[in-house]
Amino acid sequence: LYLHGGGDFSGGAESYHGIVGHYARMLGARGYMPDYRLAPEHRFPAPLDDSLTAYQWLVDTVGDARHIAISGDSAGGAMTVSLMVRAKRASIPLPAGGVAISPWCNLEMNNPSYRTRDGIDPLCTRDILVLMARAALGSIRPNDPDASPVYADVRGLPPLLIQIGESEVMLDDSIQLANHLAQNGVRTSLEVWPGMFHVWPVFSSIVPEGRQALENGCAFLDRLF
C-alpha cells in the first residue's frame, strides 16, 4: 500500500505509478495507491481517514495483514506511521512493516535542519512547507499526533525503515522520529543518504542512489514477509 506525497495538498496516485511499479516488481507483489482527498477542499485528517479506509479494505481483501506492507513519501511517509497508529487504535491487524521515505513527520518544523538545510534541498523550503501545512491543517494543531507522528503513541508498531536525504530540511525530523520509535520499542532502521534531496527515490530512473534506496527498502520488506 503506497501513500503518495504532496503535503496533503497536491499530488495523486496517477503520478506514482513509477515508484510503485518498482516496488511491485522487486517484491513480486501488487501495488495499491489510495487516491485520498486533498486540501484545501478537504483538510486533515481527511487524507488519513481515506488511507485508513483503504487499508481496512485491503486487510479484508487479502485476509492476512502480515502479507501487507505500507510505504509512502513526504506527507505519505508520515502517514505510513500515522496509519499504523490509527489501525492499532481501531484494532485493525497491523501490516508486516513499512518504509517511510523523506517523511514530513513534524509539522511544527522546529528542528535545526529547517534552518541549516534551507536552500540546499532543491525540492523543499521551509517557507513553502509552512504554507502547505497551513492549507492542510486548518484548525488542527501542527503537533497533533495524527499529523506529526513524532508525538504519537507508537508502541506496538511493526518494524519500520526510514530513509532520508542528508540535504533535506526534514533531516532532523526523521532522526527525531527514529529516536521516538526506538525509545518506544519499535524495531527501527534509519538510512541517511549523503547529498540526497527530498524524495530522491522517486527519481530512481535517473538517480542511481534512488534505485539503491528502493532496493534497500524492498530488501527490508522482503525479509519481513
Catalytic, 168? Answer yes
Catalytic, 198? Answer yes
Catalytic pick from 71, 82, 113, 168? 168
Whether the Cβ atoms of residue 25 and residue 18 lie closer than 8 Å to each other: no
Q: What is the Cα–Cα distance from 134 to 202, expressed in whole angstroms? A: 25
Q: What is the Cα–Cα distance from 77 to 92, expressed in whole angstroms? A: 20
Catalytic pick from 71, 74, 174, 204? 74
Q: What is the Cα–Cα distance from 72 to 221, expressed in whole angstroms? A: 13
Burial class (CB in 10 A: 0-12, 13-18, 19+), 60: exposed
Cβ neighbors of 176 (< 8 A, separation 6 or more) are 105, 106, 111, 150
Locate 117 and state its grid cell.
538545510
Phi, psi of 197, rounded to the nearest 5 degrees: -110, 180
Q: What is the Cα–Cα distance from 151 to 4, expressed in whole angstroms? A: 22
Give the residue numbers marked as catalytic. Answer: 74, 168, 198
